[in-house]
Amino acid sequence: MKPEQAEQLRLLSIFHYVFAGVLALVACLPLIHVGLGLAMVLAPRQFGGHGEPPPAFLGWFFVVTGGVFILAGWLAAALIAWAGRCLARRRQYTYCLVMAGVACVFMPLGTLLGVFTILLLAKPEVKAAFGPVVSA
């Protein structure tokens, strides 16, 4: 593998870590929905105005939906960070390639990261640096 390709792999690894951190932070935005849902469940009269308060299931819907989105975002961030670790160690070629494709879903930064990762991993010298691909 050429020295500039090794440097590009190192930089991509760092960018995976940074992107994972940003993704984990953005995944915390639904905490607003969780808080709102808990407020609806714990103090429903505050949301009723002059009429009936909202039903409890609506508050629980906010809590559960927000929690699912938070956990999914944190899981995606952890998987992308692990891909960065694998890139740095030159291990798990297929996993890195798949996660580069998954990163493309998170536009626009994830798309840039994923495309550049795929382009670099597609080079035969880089693929060879990961060692033999073990099939199941």
Query: Is residue 88 domain-resident?
Result: yes
Per-residue model confidence (pLDDT) at position 60: 94
Query: Is residue 17 domain-resident?
Result: yes
Supply the range of the domain harboring residue 30: 3-48+55-129
| Domains held by the chain: number | 1
Query: Is residue 70 domain-resident?
Result: yes
Q: Give the residue from 45, 38, 31 showing the smallest Cα distance to 61.
A: 38
Q: Any idea which residue has 């879903």 for tokens?
A: 105
pLDDT digits (tens, 9 = 90+) for 16-63: 999 999 999 999 999 999 999 999 888 888 876 777 887 888 999 999
Q: Any idea which residue has 């429903």 for tokens?
A: 44
Q: Report helix angle 109-121 to 3-26, nearest 10.
A: 150
Query: Is residue 23 domain-resident?
Result: yes
Query: Is residue 65 domain-resident?
Result: yes
Query: Is residue 95 domain-resident?
Result: yes
- Model pTM? 0.85
pLDDT digits (tens, 9 = 90+) for 40-52: 888 888 876 777 8
